[in-house]
Amino acid sequence: MAALPVLWMLPALRAVVIPDALPGRAVRPDDQPELSALVRDMAERTGFGAPLLVRILPEPVVLTGRVRVAGGHAYALLLGLPLVRVLSATQLAAVIAHELALERHFGDRRTRALLAARGALAERLEGRVRPLAPLAAALLRAAQPWFWQAELTADAEAARVVGGTAVRESVERTAVIEAAFSGIAQEWVEDLVEDGRYPLDLYEAFDLALDDSLVLDRARREDAEDEVLDVYGVTGHPPTAVRLAALPHTGTHAAYGSAPLGLRGADAVAEWCVQRLACADGPGSTLQVGGGVRGSALRPEDLKPVRLLDLDPDRFRLPADGGPGAAALRAATRRTSTVRALYAALDVVADTDWYRLARRIDPQLRWLPAAARKAVGSQVLAGAMGAALAPLLLEAGWTYAGRWMNTVLRAPDGTVVDLYEVLVTVVDGGEPAPVHVLLEKTGNAKAERA
């Protein structure tokens, strides 16, 4: 019985022990002197004496770990381009200080082995068949507090080096960037790649999206929801609120600038990163646990570059019939009319028996861990209802409140409503009255209900 978990994890462990290639784009001191100088300064301040290879990744991640180079070992600091572009130089310094402190204090061989085994075990919980899930979940939860404490210790070390204010700002900002990139930027890439194109100005458009308060509000909510969905205790990072509460109350000790550091040859770096996202097995999948880059049948020359900001915003809007989400709701409620499908769904919500409807919309819910089904099912049902409701309101004179969000609309009187927020609250609370009010504002829906 003791051998079973090890045998179960062997395929994933191989990816950790034998990395295929060093990921990311190399940052050489002569090419990026400002970033290189910042990394050196943080290494000195945190007492990190080992040589560092700095690499740029397409996704908003920051990682430090040992890598194999020319038959030996070195350390690599992997910095996500979205963070380098958006964080101020002082905030970026705080992020780097955190990672170097974490590696310095908790990067020993035993910890790396435990982290590798934990990652391999978590990967084995993603499939449909999870025979050892009860044992695996217990092991993951037992180790999670130790990893959380390590992260909090690294936060405190970073606060000592750079200042608590900078660390606090970097923690909040990084969480928002990660959630927004996953929810918006990766969808842009996926959508365009299906048409044989890739967004040359992906990071420029993403920078603009982060200036929208509606995008930030949604990203904060999604970041908070991640804790609810982590039913196995997989994540090694404490929730954002926990990290902020544990930070020491110290002022800014070091100021490297309130503007982003900037990269020389930024356009070439951005294009390289976009191509890696577009040509990977899927956006976000370029980095393996062991640092290898996954293969893909696509090559950059197979895709046509386009400027996302020059495209018609309606290119990423919901179709007039609500698209696949509304179609799934009609099929699940067995209604041919979108309006009647919405009313039928609201009746089910009022009866608090909505999960079976959510599972008819997305049968894959049955394969999720039992503890996560309700939370994800609520999002599935709210998403389908939002896709059905938004076109009805647009037809009644409502407009999109911004370029980036499909479910945030502005009423004729100027009121801004986030349909997703409303619908998730309605589904979770079992009180459909707010959606009935919205439906009554659409003339066609009111007539059809009558």
What Rg value do the Cα atoms of the chain yield, rounded? 24
The per-type count for the chain, helices as H runs and strands as E runs, is 19, 9
Tokens 């204010």, residue?
Answer: 165
pLDDT at 160: 92
At residue 7, the pLDDT reads 41
pLDDT of residue 211: 95
User: Are 443 and 449 a contacting pair, CB within 8 Å?
Assistant: no
What is the SS3 assignment for 197?
strand
**pLDDT tens across 271-314, in order?**
999 999 998 744 334 443 333 334 456 788 889 999 999 999 88
What is the per-residue pLDDT for 39? 96
pLDDT of amino acid 73: 78
Q: CB-hemisphere CA count at 13 Å for 103?
A: 25
Residues whose CB falls within 8 Å of the CB of residue 261, separated by 6 or more in sequence, listed in order: 34, 35, 38, 84, 89, 92
**Residue that the structure tokens 């435990």 belong to:** 114
- Report the pLDDT value the prediction gives residue 72, as an integer from 0 to 100: 73
Question: Which tokens in the block code for residue 222?
Answer: 């999604």
The 10 Å CB-count burial string (b at 16+, else e) for 109-136 is eebeeebbbbbbbbbbbeeeebebbeeb
Low-confidence ranges of the chain (pLDDT < 50): 1-20, 281-295
156-199 per-position pLDDT tens digit = 999 999 999 999 999 999 999 999 999 899 999 999 999 999 99
CA distance 155 to 174: 13
Query: What is the reported pLDDT for 368?
Result: 80
Q: How far, in Å, CA of 296 to CA of 411, rounded?
A: 44
